[in-house]
Amino acid sequence: MAALTRSSFSVFRRLVTQQYRCQCFRMQHVRCFRPVPSLSVACKRSPKILNSRSLHAAIVNRGPIIQFKLSDIGEGIMEGDRVSQFDSICEVQSDKASVTITSRYDGVITKLYYDVEATALVGKPLVDIETESSSEVIQEEDVVETPAMAREEHTHQEIKGQKTQATPAVRRLAMENNIKLSEVVGTGKDGRILKEDILNYLAKQTGAILPPAPSPAPTPPPPPATAVSPAAMLQAPPTSPKPVFTGKDVTEPLKGFHKAMVKTMSAALKIPHFGYCDEVDLSRLVALRKDLKPIAEFRGVKLSYMPFFIKAASLGLMHFPILNASVDEACQNITYKASHNIGLAMDTTQGLLVPNVKNVQVLSVLQIAQELNRLQVLGAAGQLGSADLSGGTFTLSNIGSIGGTYAKPVILPPEVAIGALGKIQILPRFDTSGQVVRAHIMNVSWSADHRIIDGATMCRFSNLWKEYLENPACMVLDLK
């Protein structure tokens, strides 16, 4: 073996490095989108040969443009904005639901297909997103989303493997201040992010201090009473300046549930309404509910009077199926509905909503109470979906929970009948022996489509419904 000196070893290393460099860069091509300025480097030391492993060649390619189709619901973006996966794009509000849409890709918004307040079509492109070539692109398919999925996306937004819970108002506030919800710690129930969490996070980022709650100003002590002379009493009282009202009228467009109500009530105006009223003695039902209420609470169900009203209506519809029907716009055909989807008019923060209990004819009173508890929780949170709000065949309005005895309910097309329940009052009534007794009286008001329902049919149905409630034991004979 021959011994190598330091100088000969340097020459040998240069030859090997040059050959290795030629082999590494023989087939490589570097594509530049803009000219690279030449750099001049002044070195005081002797130049060193760089190791070829420290050199890298990058290939830059633009990714395809993906059409993001409208399949669910979100908040505002502009052309040129960069979005990441799960970022909110916009908020879409239909006649019955309001949901937030999130991005499925990382990229830049290149085109908007709709303006603000415009009507977007389901399954059509919403925006164009220019994605990066390194990101995996999955072409969207036209999928009809179930209402249950729409409700879940409205409540939860999945970000990096975890679900962030926040209301649309909180998401809008976070987006306006460029705050990622994944970076905010929620202090609400089950980690829900509240408005105060966003404000506290923003204060920490900007160094601002939230203003403290205003403290009431101290009340000065009353001045000491002084004697008033008769001459001063005869003088006219001092004139005080008249108050000036500075309020202004506010005009805003109808949208969301209010716009849907205008459409529904305009269609209901074309229906000739027939009205019928009666009173029901609920004394026996009140005693029965008092006995069953602890049992229902033990099973985790809040039992009100409404499940009995709904079940009695379903039993009555068995004998009068025309009240559970619908008629076409030309009033040429009647469709008798097999399912008893009985709706309940509900007063919510979003306005009047009418969710319905599906297939009441096969449910027990306790099962109806469970479904009503679920709908009331969703209604209070503003999370009722289109599945809960559509498909109704008959409606009851519990207006008596707010107040009033009689009402004139308006039919919800394409249904043909509706009932309004007044408040329960304790009034004097005569019993079978002629004695005056305390009675729990409730008034009911019915409206029917007089084009296909006559007064006698509505009266017979009301009498049967009344019999079930005044003698709850009769319901047991017809239960299936």
Q: Which residues are catalytic?
A: 450, 454
CA atoms of 76 and 173, how far apart (whole Å): 12
- Contacts (Cβ under 8 Å, ≥6 apart) of 55: 24
- Distance set, CA 173 to CA 32, 152, 168, 197, 199 (Å): 41, 20, 9, 11, 9
Residue written as tokens 């309001």? 98
What single string gives the DSSP state of each residue in 404-432?
A: -S-------TT--EEEEE---EEEEEE-T
CB 15 within 8 A of CB 49: no
8 A C-beta contact, residue 368 and residue 358: no
142-157 core/surface letters (b: 16 or more CB in 10 A; e: else) = eeeeebeebbebbbeb
CB 338 within 8 A of CB 329: no
Distance CA 182, CA 344 (A): 38
Contact 425, 444 (CB under 8 A): no
- What stretches of 269-324 show up as alpha helix (H) in DSSP? 283-298, 306-319
- Closest-CA residue to 167 (of 258, 94, 91, 115): 91
Q: How many helices (H) and strands (E) does the chain have?
A: 12, 18
Cβ 379 vs Cβ 348: under 8 Å: yes
CA distance 34 to 369: 69
> Residue 88's CB: how many other CB atoms inside 10 A?
21
Q: How many residues does the chain have?
A: 480
Residue 141 Cα distances to 45, 169, 366, angstroms? 62, 30, 41
- Note the Cα 54 to chain centre separation in Å: 55
Q: How far apart are CA 357 and CA 340, in angstroms?
A: 8
Strands 394-397, 342-348: pairing kind: parallel
**Which residue is it, tokens 């492993």?**
53
